[in-house]
Amino acid sequence: MTRKNLRSNALLAVSLAWILSGCAPNQTDPSSTQSEDPGDAAIGEARDLAELAALAIGPQRSPEHIARNPERHPVETLQFFGLERDMTVLEILPGGLWYGEIISPYVREEGQYIAAGYDTSRPDAPAYQVRLQEAMETRFESQPETFGGARIATLSPPDAVDLGEPGSVDAVLTFRNMHGWVRDGVESQVLSAFYEVLRPGGVLGIVQHRAGPLSDPDPEAFIGYLAEERVIAMVEAAGFVLEATSEINANPRDTADHPRGVWTLPPSLRLGEQDRERYEAIGESDRMTLRFRKPESGED
């Protein structure tokens, strides 16, 4: 384990202790003229992490969503992506808002949460997209304490893509979506849209179901898995720079070879009761976690 991982784990442990005890560190007197203690930054970072950890198990989340935390590691993942409370964060196709209900209240006071949903005005919009979009809009309206100030953008390539003004967001985050764009042959268009909406120096965070090393399933089979090497190559081709990778969401039990693809595994369990215990024992998919950055102006 690296020194950075040890420090992150220590901060998370301290943060969880604060949550359980209901305590918080003493605030520094803003009128003090003394120089900032070297430990103040670490205390502030731990306090922010404590708030993020509290939101991950907060009352704005359903028990079903909270139950997935051990498989999806939301606090560690968002920390790896560099989430800060003053960021404008664009989440791509947030589905049931599993991550949105953590990110939105975290950035609401100083930043903004934007959800890129589907264009359901299209006559051929699939029923599942209509259902997800309507559910998201309902939650935004009915839960202002969680989603107050949040905005909705549009991502229905190849026709309807409107993520916002160029250079207007600090981070674009997408969770388990890349395979769909590859299947539809729109990955280049989508990644170009991400590049345009991000400010120079902004972050693109990707979590994606991972195929075995040096393998890449036929996208027509639509099993949900992609080779990590291919994902990195296509994102770099769009102009991004790979900054870091993480095994936060790795699962060595997952062979990426199942009768119904990734949806054989939890939480979908598409085979129903057939071999259910076996697939539940495997858990959720093996996933790559990648952090890219849009170069600063003039940077290679």
pLDDT tens digits for 222-272? Answer: 899 999 999 999 999 999 999 999 999 999 999 999 999 999 999 999 999
Domain boundaries, the chain: 1-27+38-56, 63-293
pLDDT of residue 220: 62
pLDDT tens digits for 180-197? Answer: 999 999 999 999 999 999
Q: What is the H or E stretch that residue 155 is in?
A: strand 151-156
Distances (CA, A) of 151 to 90, 109, 120, 134, 154: 9, 14, 16, 14, 10
Residue 244's region, left for phi above 0, alpha for psi from -120 to 50, else beta, is beta
CATH assignment of 63-293?
A: 3.40.50.150
pLDDT of residue 19: 45
pLDDT of residue 44: 79
Q: How far apart are CA 178 and CA 110, in angstroms?
A: 29
Instruction: State in Å, rounded, how far the first CA of the chain is from the last one.
Output: 31
Alpha carbons within 13 A on the beta-carbon side of 118: 19
| pLDDT, the chain, mean | 88
pLDDT-derived band at 23, boundaries 50, 70, 90? very low
Q: How far apart are CA 7 and CA 42, in angstroms?
A: 10
